[in-house]
Chain A
Amino acid sequence: MGLLDGLLPAYYESILITVGIYIILALGLNLITGVTGQLNLGHAAYMCIGAYTSAIMSMHYGMPFIVAILAGGLLAAAFGVVIGYPTLRLTGDYLAICTLGFGEILKSVLYNVPAVGGAMGLAGIPPKTTLTIVFIVMIIVIISMVRVESSRFGRALVAIREDEIAAECNGINATKYKLQMFSLGCFIAGIGGALWAHKIMVLQPRDFGFLKSIEILNMVVLGGLGSIPGTILGATVLTSIPEILRFSSEYRMLLYGALLVAMMIFRPHGLMGGVSFNSIAKRGMRWLKPGDKPDDKPGQKGMGG
């Protein structure tokens, strides 16, 4: 452990950790909103559950970091099931409003629960998040997302996004798959939140409001809904831009906004819409060996009867 830590100046290391955590969060949302097409405006709520749970686990119960992270993920997933079960029957705007509502309710509840610090928040969380840990978790999340994408489960999710009724007519249990997908996305958000909590060491309910959800959604949309490499790129770009733009001091967020608008005008499907690791690999193969198409099936087609 600790291979990557201390190699870079603290400032860059901190930015890289933030980028890594946002990649994790955005990949969770990409599964829900990008791959399956269920607009979720409350992703920060699940991040928040993961953050608070893990913080309490390590502060009050002295649990090892890995246990705290998993507990955060699991509780977020459990909330995902409880919230998802009634709301995933809704579609489009209705689902969006419900997820948004849950985020705001959670925030209000946290403001009023003294046990988790209320409006003062939780302070004194041990700084256990290191670049190495974030990097490892990020790689695990990326690999699992790529595997989900090419699995039977992933195909079913895409079918649901494309046409839910047609998906059901083809024997896909849309309710079940949506619920499994949603809780998996929330689990990842919870893990991201746990890493976040142990990086910034102070949690306040207002950090997990609507704006945070939109920030993560921006990354997914900018990168290209449903595209894993796109989501990674989107999270990287949007996390680093505010840092890069620091030279412009107070105009920073203005430039950030203008950049977002410009990107959506010139790349409406996101930076890498429709691009997957698989398609990148295929294109690379073709580029390396021109004239040799690896995805073409050899031989004659069998005769039907």
Chain B
Amino acid sequence: MLVVENVDVNYGAIRALVDVSLEVHEGEIVALIGANGAGKSTTLRSISGLVKPNKGRILFEGSELQKCPPHKVVEMGISQVPEGRRVFPLMTVLENLEMGAFTRKDRANIKDDIDKVFAKFPRLEERKKQPAGTLSGGEQQMLAIGRALMSKPKIMLMDEPSMGLAPMLVQEIFNIVKEINQSGTTILLVEQNARMALAVANRGYVLETGQVVISGAAADLAKNEAVQKAYLGV
């Protein structure tokens, strides 16, 4: 479904990604784990068009993405839950969700989909008229996920959804990730919380200084000694 082929990204003289290749198949949850600065977010950003790769190709359902601007990428069915949530702080919860549906042509169904998001996140419904900036971190994360769902994506890119959240909320967010996947959305998940990420994912890739060093089934990665030592703190 999504193929990243030999992608290089340079920020000036700094090589953020070196020859990164990965694949996401339809229906999967794929986890991208690694330390700070390993290139996880850069990988997502190059898929969503926020940074342009210097080399390599990115294919989504057969068409090339690497030259598409971000809004075109969304139209193709890829939506991103950006790092740090990035809700629109002065817009209400409801308006944030409506912004998520910006690219959709089927205006009539949007209301139903907002109700679906509210069914998934009842807390958002309670606060639908509140400015998003006044929500707690966990609620903002839910809103960011809900907003990304509003574009009816085929695949969702999630950048550190557990960042800065209390442990109980982290569990809740990962349950939601699983639920969204079960209802038919493919997920590419970037996480520092490797243990949780590998617990929900089907497959995983480990990034180190811009390169994919290990990849495989999530269960195997969780058992891999090197991974355990470096990322799971065993």
State which residues 64-106 of A face B: CB under 8 Å: none
Instruction: Report chain A residues within 8 Å CB of B163.
Output: none
Residues of A near B112 (CB, < 8 A) are 302
How far is A167 from B87 in the complex, measured between Cα atoms in Å? 9
Mark A5-25 against chain B: 1 for CB-CB distance below 8 A, else 0.
000000000000000000000
Q: Does B23 contact A (CB under 8 A)?
A: no
* Pairwise interchain contact A155-B98, C-beta atoms closer than 8 A: yes
In the assembled complex, which residues on chain A have CB atoms less than 8 Å from the CB atom of B120? 304
Q: In the complex, which residue of chain A has the Cβ closest to the Cβ of B120?
A: A304
Q: Which residues of A contact B95 (CB under 8 A)?
A: 155
Q: Which of A163, A168, A301, A304 is the one whose CB lies under 8 Å from B88?
A: A163
At the interface, yes or no: A305 with Cβ under 8 Å from chain B? yes
- List CB contacts (< 8 Å) of B90-115 with chain A: 90-91, 95, 98-100, 102-103, 112, 115
Interface string of A149-190 (1 = CB under 8 A from B): 000100110110011011111111111000000000000000
| Measured CA separation A169–B157 after assembly (Å) | 10
The verdict on B28 contacting chain A, using a C-beta distance below 8 Å, is no
**B117: nearest chain-A partner, CB-CB:** A304
- Knowing A158-B91, A165-B50, A166-B82, the reply to whether A301 touches B115 (Cβ < 8 A) is yes
Given contacts A169-B70, A170-B102, contact A159 B86 (CB under 8 A): no
Chain B CB within 10 Å, residue with most, of A152, A155, A156, A162: A162
| Residue contact B103 to A304, C-beta cutoff 8 Å | no
In whole Å, how far is B181's beta carbon from the nearest beta carbon of chain A? 16
Does B79 make an interface contact (CB < 8 A)?
Answer: yes
How many residues in A have their beta carbons less than 8 Å from beta carbons of B?
24
- Which A residues are CB-close (under 8 A) to B89? 162-163
Closest CB-CB distance, B190 to chain A, in whole Å?
Answer: 14
A303 lies within 8 A of chain B by Cβ:
yes
Give the docked Cα–Cα distance between A161 and B74 (Å): 20
- Indicate whether B43 reaches chain A with its CB closer than 8 angstroms: no
Closest chain A CB from B139 CB (angstroms): 16
Within 8 A of A (CB), among B9-66: 48-50
Minimal beta-carbon separation of A1 from chain B (angstroms): 41
CA gap between A168 and B80 in the complex, in Å? 10
Q: Do residues B48 and A171 form an inter-chain contact, with CB atoms below 8 A?
A: no
A172 touches B71 (CB 8 A): yes
Given A163-B86, A166-B88, A171:B116 Cβ within 8 A:
no
The CA-CA distance from A169 to B99 in the complex, in Å, is 10
A-B contact count (CB 8 A): 83
Instruction: Determine whether the beta carbon of A304 is less than 8 Å from that of B86.
Output: no
- Residue B99 contacts which of A159, A274, A303 (CB distance < 8 angstroms)? A159
Question: Which B residues touch A167, using CB under 8 A?
Answer: 88, 99
Contact (Cβ within 8 A) A168 B71: yes
CA distance A152 to B89 in the complex (A): 18
CA–CA, A175 and B91, complex, Å: 21
Quick one: which of A166, A168, A304 has the most chain B CB within 10 A?
A166
Query: Is B1 interfacial (CB 8 A cutoff)?
Result: no
Name the CB-closest residue of B to A177.
Answer: B71
Query: Which of the residues A155, A165, A173, A303 comes within 8 Å of B86, measured between beta carbons?
Result: A165
Minimum CB–CB distance for A287 against chain B, Å? 18
Distance to closest chain B CB from A168 (angstroms): 4
A279 CB → nearest B CB, Å: 12
Inter-chain contact A170/B50, CB cutoff 8 Å: no
A3 to B16, CA, bound (A): 67
CB distance from B89 to the nearest CB of A (A): 6
Within the complex, the shortest CB–CB distance from B152 to chain A, in Å, comes to 11
A sample of 19 inter-chain contacts (CB < 8 A) reads: A155-B95, A155-B102, A159-B91, A159-B102, A163-B86, A167-B88, A170-B74, A170-B99, A170-B100, A170-B151, A171-B71, A171-B75, A171-B151, A175-B69, A301-B125, A302-B112, A302-B115, A303-B115, A304-B116
Closest 10 A/B residue pairs (Cβ): A304-B119, A304-B116, A171-B74, A171-B103, A166-B86, A168-B70, A162-B88, A173-B71, A302-B115, A169-B80
List 12 other contacts, CB 8 Å, given A166-B86, A168-B69, A302-B112.
A159-B99, A165-B82, A168-B50, A168-B71, A169-B148, A170-B74, A170-B100, A171-B102, A172-B71, A172-B102, A301-B115, A304-B117
Which A positions have Cβ atoms within 8 angstroms of B?
Answer: 152, 155-156, 158-159, 162-163, 165-175, 274, 301-305
